[in-house]
Every structure is written in C-alpha cells, then in structure tokens.
Amino acid sequence: MTATPRWRSFVALGDSMTEGLQDLDPNGAPIGWADRLAQHLADRAGEPIRYANLAIRGRLLGQILAEQIEPALALKPDLVSLWGGGNDMLRPSADPDQMAAEVEQAVIRFREAGTDVLLGLGSDPRESPVIKLTRPRVAVYNLNLVGIARAHGAYLVDGWNLQAVRDWRMWHEDRLHLTPAGHELIAQAALVSLGLEPSRPDWDAPLPPVPPLNFRESVDWNLVWGRDHLAPWLGRRLQHTSSGAGRTAKYPDYIQVAPVEHAR
C-alpha cells in the first residue's frame, strides 16, 4: 500500500448510499462514505482535491447511468465511483445480468476517457428479514461486477465480504442505510481497495459482541421496522413515487476539499 494517492479529482455517482443518507452533519445535510473518502484522499495527498457528488437518493441503476454518466465525463475526473443497483434489487423484476452489462458499458466509457473507476459490491443481506429475499440477485450482480473490474482494471470495494458491515449497529433503523460509523467503514474499505493506507490497522475489526435479542425483543424490533419503514416504502411503490423525486445532486460541480491539519 502507498500513503499518497495520485488522484486530484474525484466524482461519485450513485443513489442514497453515495449521497450519504442517514450520515448527517450538524445542519442535517448528508455526508456519506464518498464525502469521507474525498476527505481522506485530500488528507493523504496533503493538498486540496476537487470533488463532485452526483448521487441522488431513490435512483434506480438505469437512472443513475442515464442521468449521471455524461455530467461525470464532462468533469474529466481522475477517479469516479459507481455504486448503484440497491433500489433495483428490492424489486423482484430486477435482472442482475442485464444490470451488470449496463455497468460494464459505463466502465468502458470511463476507462476509455482515462478515468479510474471504483465499483462497490452490495453487502450480504442474509441476516435481514424480508430484504434477505434479494440475496440471490445481489450475489449474481456482485459476481458480474467482480468480472467487470478484473476485465477493465477497475477497483472494487468488497462490501459482500466485509464482516463488520453485517453488524446491525452499522445500519440505521431503516435497515437500508448506513450509520456514520457504517459510512466511515466503507470509506476505509475504499481506501484499501485503492491501495492506500487505512486510518488504523484494525479498521475492519468486528464490534464488541452484545447480547442477542430475546424472542419478545426481536418481535418488537421487527414490528417497529415494519410500521415505520417497510410500510412507507411499500406505500411509495404503490404510488409510483421516489424519495428522490425533484431532488438534484448535492455537488453537481467540483468543490474543493482541503486536507485537515495534522491529518496523515
């Protein structure tokens, strides 16, 4: 691994995960793993980098590719991240092979433009009630992405095998979005994927164990989740609405991310 990145411009594409939902600053604005990665890149470079984040919550993969690739190419970045498909996987009609084929075409375009690409694998949902039904689709999609990264020289964040991210304490109560600690974990995984030093050697160590929920606690936990999060999500699906309707990218053009004083 190296200590100094070679990238001086970074553009992030995706949905709510890359936008940073549930990882909020004091003013309530989303931060997220991509913002955190940009900061780490600036810290390690010891000088400012240019950063744009085109991700918008609720976007399906096709929307991400249709809406965000051209603006990203126009910015001529050194590095892009492309992480999407999670919203598609919640729909039984999702075709992971077709989705991967579309991602590959995007990767080819970026690589032909001389841009490095960082892809992300979806985490393993086997411990999540209801969402675990998506596991076969997620696995097929991930395997395709592994092949795409190998074929085109892309970097890959292996969210599927990242043990620490399976801990529910890394996830918001909606079970779809990461907490600040979860987003930082992904940012550290991205650093390692890019061949850079993580902030600490034990960055991916599991959290200390906690007593498991008893039967009653487990039932209550799932009932609250169903009422507060699953039911509203189903309501939006029935109404054909999206949480990202009317929203625009938070950083559609480059901002400057300066290194934090005394950072590595």
205-251: pLDDT as tens digits: 988 888 888 888 788 777 877 787 666 767 766 666 766 677 899 99
In a domain, 262, yes or no: no
In a domain, 187, yes or no: yes
Q: Could you tell me the residue range of the domain that residue 110 belongs to?
A: 9-202+215-257
Angle between helices 180-193 and 32-45 (to 10 degrees): 50
Give the CATH number of the domain where residue 96 resides.
Answer: 3.40.50.1110
Q: Does pLDDT of 82 surpass 90?
A: yes
What is the DSSP annotation of 93-159?
T--HHHHHHHHHHHHHHHHHTT-EEEEEPPPP-TTSTTGGGGHHHHHHHHHHHHHHHHHHT-EEE--
Question: Which of 42-46, 127-131, 164-168, 187-191 has the least mean pLDDT?
Answer: 127-131
In a domain, 1, yes or no: no
Q: Does pLDDT of 172 surpass 50?
A: yes
pTM for this model (two decimals): 0.90
In a domain, 235, yes or no: yes
pLDDT of residue 263: 45
Q: Where are the beta strands (DSSP E) in the chain?
A: 9-14, 49-53, 79-83, 116-120, 155-157, 251-257
In a domain, 51, yes or no: yes
In a domain, 24, yes or no: yes
Question: Which of 57-66, 227-236, 248-257 has the least mean pLDDT?
Answer: 227-236
What is the mean predicted confidence (pLDDT) over 2-31?
93
Number of domains in the chain: 1
Q: How confident is the model at residue 131 (pLDDT cuts 50, 70, 90)?
A: confident
